Amino acid sequence: MAFTPPTVEQLGLYLGLEEIDGDRAELLISTAVSLCQTIVKPLPEGAEAVVLSVAGRAYVNPQQVSYETIGPMSVQRPQGSGGLYLTKSDKSALKSLAGRGGAFTVDPTPATADPSPTWPIDDLTGWAEDYEAGWGYP
Per-residue pLDDT tens over the stretch 36-71: 999 998 999 999 999 999 999 888 877 666 677 888
116-131 confidence digits (pLDDT tens): 766 666 565 555 555 5
Cα–Cα distances (Å) from 47 to 67, 127, 131, in that order, read 31, 63, 66
Average pLDDT over residues 72-76: 80
Domain of residue 23, residue span: 8-97
Please check whether residue 2 lies inside any domain of the structure: no
Please check whether residue 31 lies inside any domain of the structure: yes
Please check whether residue 59 lies inside any domain of the structure: yes
Task: Tell me, yes or no, if the pTM score tops 0.75.
Answer: no
